[in-house]
């Protein structure tokens, strides 16, 4: 049986053909974008953990997202019973969690992830919901790079060296 296809003309990626099975439906939309309900997760580079959450209803609306397990493996936000019911989740329902990434213009090293507003997808029904996590150990601007450096000592040394050189350079220009 062949899967039904949908085509969208994305502003960022041009014409994209999508399997209807890949569509994620948000019954309430995303915070600030409640009118948009149908999205697809696009993978443009298999080697990168970053994906694009592309709206099927608004060609110009796409968010950079990442599964937090790539930079914070212990991330396990508690979601409310109401959110779990809305997503039809039981203890054994497979889920996928994404967080929205913010990348300041020209400063990719300062990218952050919103760990207080993750997107939880029921992997069976493809229904999704952006939920609010009420846990003070998470923030809306969690540094992805700092988290990765905590886990990779060799990367940390290289980054510290670069930071040290930069601050010496800045100091000499004063």
pLDDT digit string, tens, across residues 6-42? 888 888 888 988 888 899 999 999 999 999 999 999 9
The answer to the question of residue 155 being in a domain is no
Give the domain extent around 83. Answer: 5-143
- Cα separation, 66 vs 50, in Å, equals 5
The answer to the question of residue 167 being in a domain is no
The answer to the question of residue 171 being in a domain is no
- Cα separation, 51 vs 21, in Å, equals 18
Q: Is 89 exposed, middle or buried (0-12, 13-18, 19+ CB in 10 A)?
A: buried
pTM for the predicted model, two decimal places: 0.82
pLDDT digit string, tens, across residues 117-169? 999 999 999 999 999 998 888 999 999 988 888 877 644 444 444 433 333 33
Rounded to 5 degrees, what angle do the CA atoms 150, 69, 10 make? 115
The CATH number that applies at residue 122 is 2.30.290.10
The answer to the question of residue 159 being in a domain is no
Of all helices (H) and strands (E), which one includes residue 112? strand 112-113
Nearest to 111 by CA among 102, 120, 100: 102
């Amino acid at each position: 049986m062949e899967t039904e296809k949908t085509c969208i003309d994305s502003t960022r990626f041009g014409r994209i053909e999508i399997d209807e099975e890949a569509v994620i439906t948000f019954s309430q939309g995303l915070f600030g974008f409640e009118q948009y309900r149908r999205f697809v997760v696009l993978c443009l580079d298999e080697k990168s953990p970053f994906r694009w959450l592309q709206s099927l209803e608004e060609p110009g609306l796409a968010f950079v997202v990442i599964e937090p397990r790539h930079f914070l493996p212990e991330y396990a936000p508690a979601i409310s019973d109401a959110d779990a019911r809305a997503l039809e989740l039981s203890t054994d329902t497979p889920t996928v969690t994404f967080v929205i990434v913010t990348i300041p213009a020209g400063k990719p090293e300062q990218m952050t992830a919103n760990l207080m507003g993750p997107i939880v997808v029921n992997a069976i029904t493809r229904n999704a919901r952006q939920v609010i996590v009420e846990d003070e150990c998470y923030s809306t601007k969690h540094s992805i790079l700092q988290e990765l450096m905590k886990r990779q000592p060799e990367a940390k040394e290289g980054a510290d060296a670069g930071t040290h050189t930069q601050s010496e350079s800045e100091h000499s220009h004063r």
